[in-house]
A and B are shown apart, each in its own frame.
Chain A
Amino acid sequence: MLYFSKLRIFSILIITLFFSGFTFLNFFDFDNNFFKKKINLGLDLQGGSYLLLQIDNNPVVTKNLQSKAIDFKNYFNKKKIKLKNIVVENQIIKFSVNNSNLDDVKKILDDDESEINPYFNQYKSHQYDFTVNNDIFLLKLSKHGLVLLKNSSLDQAIEIVRRRVDEIGTNEPNILKRGNDRILVELPGLDDPGRIKSLLGKTANLTFQFVTNDDEKTFGIEKLPLEEDDQELIVSKRIILSGENLVDAQPRMDTQSNQTVVTFNLDRLGAKKFAKATTSNVGKRLAIVLDGKIISAPRIQDSIIGGSGQITGNFTFQSATDLALLLRSGSLPAPLNILEERTVGPDLGQDSIDAGILSLIVGFTIVVLFMFIKYKFFGLIANITLIVNLFIIIGILTLFEATLTLPGIAGLILTVGMAVDANVLIFERIKEETKNEKNSIIAFDNGYTKSRTTILDSNITTLIAAIILFFLGSGPVKGFSVTLGVGILTTLFTVYFIARLFTAFYVIRNKDKESLI
């Protein structure tokens, strides 16, 4: 165990220099992509906001079923089958057919080649499951149909969330998928998440609908509340224009009325629709509806054919800016609920860094002194090992651009305390061996060999705990498991290669002296 070939010494040197070298990247700024790596500071250290959002998918499912119900009706109409009493309730499509058509409908819904109820070969499932009760069909989304729908609504939502966050312009936001209906948003440096929460909390579904008094036969009517007070207006359900047709929206000061307004531009299709609707309805009131509330309902003075217009309302400049931002970024497929929010102010983050570093330095110094007093020269070897160990850990964290959190710093300090364990086990074993073995080289060799399984066993158990924590822990705790786990691996390397190398040099040189340790 004490023999090192030249090649081996060289490899140890290279590996050590390679990994510990990365530590220094944290202190310099390089342009090169590879060399500008740095340890990321967690939100608890640099300050910022963490939001966990969940999509409320119920409206998405209902909307899907409603449009599917119409598709079903049209599809079977073409096949000369009439679906009767078709309704969507409790996320189930319900309809009945004449007895003569019963088997045909079943066959179509069950067909693997079905156009109207697609079959997913990879999941062995149709998009919709159905049951038949006498002549009544009940259809609902199958498990996989639901998963596909949720995934696509999550993808859409993430895109919209990203656009809204980018519009605000916080530095390096982190937006990630979590499961099949959650979105994680990390906003470094943001200490008041109020505005972003209000922006993400709005679906921003914009529609233009006519205010009506009489019952419009084809589309029906609905009562909607006004944004500014509790009054309600009756509007037609027919949607003249929706937010999808918007290409731009900006807050403006209207010089005539001296009010803040939001101006918008429409795409070609939208402009055409808007021109047609306004031309034939001069004098009527047009309600501008956002998420089920009427912002305002101005009277149409003249036809609007230019493809642009403005929304008036009781805006402050801030609220007009926010509305314009929401309209530009598009509407969410479904409302988002905030499940968890954590915000750390920048000064608390700095305090945590300071306290963490102070306790690292103090803890480190005490352990180093302790080891030196206890083992003298071999304590020195253990201490050098410990320092190299710290550099390699930080180097590896830098290389992988890992996130350092406050518990992560605690993990580093703990590693300092526990890293000496392997060296202590070896030194104590050598002490025992020297009692029976006069030849120092053999005694040292035996000490290393006999303590090896113990050291492996004891470190593997701690590694198991770190790995489990990594997969099940969240946020700061994950950071702890990373430093603890990396620390164990680097400890084994430094003890078995670096400390042993130093020990070997010393022992071989002083093999004739008595009581080396």
Chain B
Amino acid sequence: MKNIEFNKFYKIFNIISLGLIILSIFLLFLKGLNYGVDFKGGTLIEIRTDVNKADISNIRKIFSQMNLGDLKVKQFGEKNDFIVKFEKRNLNDPNFINDIKSNFEKSFTGNFDFRRVENVGPKVSQELLKAGVIAILLSLTAMLIYIWIRFEWQFSIGAILALFHDVLITLGIFSLFSLEINLSIVAAVLTIVGYSMNDTVVIYDRVRENLKKSDLKIFDITNISINETLSRTIITSATTLLALFSIFFLGGAILKGFSLAMILGVIFGTYSSIYIANPVLIYFKVNQKTVLKDKID
């Protein structure tokens, strides 16, 4: 059997992870996240046009004349597709969007198709943000309890630290590149939580099994367990990533952020199962006695 000495490097990788986590926390506090209209409120319009002259700066110029508050314009997918986001949201004015549209058609001759309009008021956006945060915290707690029931508390802490690691770094990357956080990113983060846990549990199950049948130290037991489950780890990550890349490249602009978050999550989730979840067991000096009182087989 191939035997890679993963644990030889665990301290170095732990320091790197710690650095990345600190960096992510800094980014989250200093730079913050780029919330989309779901969480910040405001208006989003996706425009498709057959006017060749229309580009980001042209479109920005027209919108900025309308006093709509903080304004963002960017290309979205195809060359002639644009996303415009602004602060103002006259939800109760039924002509708000049509007025913008006619304003637009005055400036250019040609077709402007408003393919998607999202208009979120301040109350709802705050509620959605709250629900998103609660959902993530609740799922972390639920996982913590589940692992606690199925394993020992040391395993539970290891798994949760690994989850925090994956979620924080993924959010850190979103902050660094100012990628938009919307409802589907929350869904992605929750799936990352599920996936990372899945990966950790597979190795932990093997650690527990090996602890019961051998008297090696936890350092060697975790290393053996990682190796024994390695081909499964690689194959599952590979198939999941292949599916996700297919969404990323072919699933359209709307799913880009979602699939990117998932891709990052799968990569960090796989890494953290090996280099966060297992070293925690070493730090806690888990030994044969820890699992012997465990009644679940």
A355 and B243 alpha carbons, distance in the complex (Å):
14
Q: Which residues of A contact B246 (CB under 8 A)?
A: 359-360, 362-363, 366, 413
Q: How far is the CB of A77 from chain B (nearest CB, A)?
A: 43
Interface residue tally for chain A (C-beta within 8 Å): 75
A201 and B46 alpha carbons, distance in the complex (Å):
25
Within 8 A of A (CB), among B92-132: 92, 94-95, 97-98, 113-121, 123-124, 128, 131-132
Pair B243/A454 contact, Cβ less than 8 Å? no
Q: Which residues of A contact B199 (CB under 8 A)?
A: 458
A52 and B253 alpha carbons, distance in the complex (Å):
25
Given known contacts A356-B252, A424-B232, A474-B131, A345 and B113 CB-to-CB distance under 8 angstroms:
yes
A481 at the interface (CB under 8 A from B): yes
Pair A460/B146 contact, Cβ less than 8 Å? yes
A475 at the interface (CB under 8 A from B): yes
Contact with A along B193-235 (1 / 0, CB 8 A): 1110111011001100100000000000000000011011001
Pair A458/B232 contact, Cβ less than 8 Å? no
List the one stretch of A89-97, A307-315, A464-472 in contact with chain B.
A464-472
A424 and B184 alpha carbons, distance in the complex (Å):
29
List the one stretch of B27-35, B137-145, B171-179 in contact with chain A.
B137-145
Q: Which residues of B contact A406 (CB under 8 A)?
A: 252, 254-255
Pair B113/A341 contact, Cβ less than 8 Å? no
Given known contacts A194-B98, A341-B119, A468-B142, A461 and B198 CB-to-CB distance under 8 angstroms:
yes
A201 and B124 alpha carbons, distance in the complex (Å):
18
Pair A359/B115 contact, Cβ less than 8 Å? no
Chain B minimum-CB-distance residue to A422: B236
A11 at the interface (CB under 8 A from B): no
Chain B minimum-CB-distance residue to A44: B254
Given known contacts A201-B94, A366-B242, A472-B131, A480 and B187 CB-to-CB distance under 8 angstroms:
yes
A9 and B134 alpha carbons, distance in the complex (Å):
44
Pair B242/A476 contact, Cβ less than 8 Å? no
Pair A348/B250 contact, Cβ less than 8 Å? no
Q: Which residues of B contact A465 (CB under 8 A)?
A: 139, 143, 190-191, 193-194, 197
Pair B184/A476 contact, Cβ less than 8 Å? yes
A136 at the interface (CB under 8 A from B): no
Q: Which residues of A contact B209 (CB under 8 A)?
A: 450
Q: Which residues of B contact A484 (CB under 8 A)?
A: 191
A407 and B206 alpha carbons, distance in the complex (Å):
34
Given known contacts A351-B252, A359-B250, A425-B232, A343 and B117 CB-to-CB distance under 8 angstroms:
yes
Within 8 A of B (CB), among A33-91: 44, 52, 54
Contact with B along A410-433 (1 / 0, CB 8 A): 100110111011001100100010
B68 at the interface (CB under 8 A from A): no
A93 and B235 alpha carbons, distance in the complex (Å):
71
Checking A52, A341, A464 against B146 with a beta-carbon cut-off of 8 angstroms, the contacting residue is A464
B23 at the interface (CB under 8 A from A): no
Given known contacts A340-B119, A472-B135, A407 and B184 CB-to-CB distance under 8 angstroms:
yes
Of the candidates B123, B191, B245, the one having the most CB atoms from chain A within 10 angstroms of its own CB is B191
Contact with A along B29-57 (1 / 0, CB 8 A): 00000000000000000100000000000
A198 at the interface (CB under 8 A from B): yes
Pair B202/A458 contact, Cβ less than 8 Å? yes
Contact with A along B241-263 (1 / 0, CB 8 A): 11111110111101100110010
B60 at the interface (CB under 8 A from A): no
A458 and B201 alpha carbons, distance in the complex (Å):
6
Of the candidates A338, A406, A468, A476, the one having the most CB atoms from chain B within 10 angstroms of its own CB is A468
A111 at the interface (CB under 8 A from B): no
B297 at the interface (CB under 8 A from A): yes
Pair B232/A428 contact, Cβ less than 8 Å? yes
A347 and B194 alpha carbons, distance in the complex (Å):
34
A16 at the interface (CB under 8 A from B): no
A358 at the interface (CB under 8 A from B): yes
Q: Which residues of A contact B193 (CB under 8 A)?
A: 465
Pair B146/A345 contact, Cβ less than 8 Å? no
A373 and B146 alpha carbons, distance in the complex (Å):
36
A454 and B201 alpha carbons, distance in the complex (Å):
7
B88 at the interface (CB under 8 A from A): no
Pair B121/A410 contact, Cβ less than 8 Å? no
A291 and B258 alpha carbons, distance in the complex (Å):
45
Within 8 A of B (CB), among A360-380: 360, 362-364, 366-367, 370-371, 374
Give me 16 other A-B pairs in contact (C-beta within 8 A), A424-B235, A464-B146 excluded.
Answer: A201-B94, A340-B121, A347-B115, A348-B115, A355-B252, A355-B255, A356-B255, A359-B246, A359-B249, A418-B240, A421-B198, A424-B236, A428-B231, A453-B205, A454-B202, A464-B139
Cross-chain pairs A/B with CB under 8 angstroms, 12 sampled: A194-B95, A340-B120, A345-B114, A363-B244, A363-B247, A374-B235, A416-B239, A416-B243, A417-B239, A425-B202, A462-B198, A472-B132
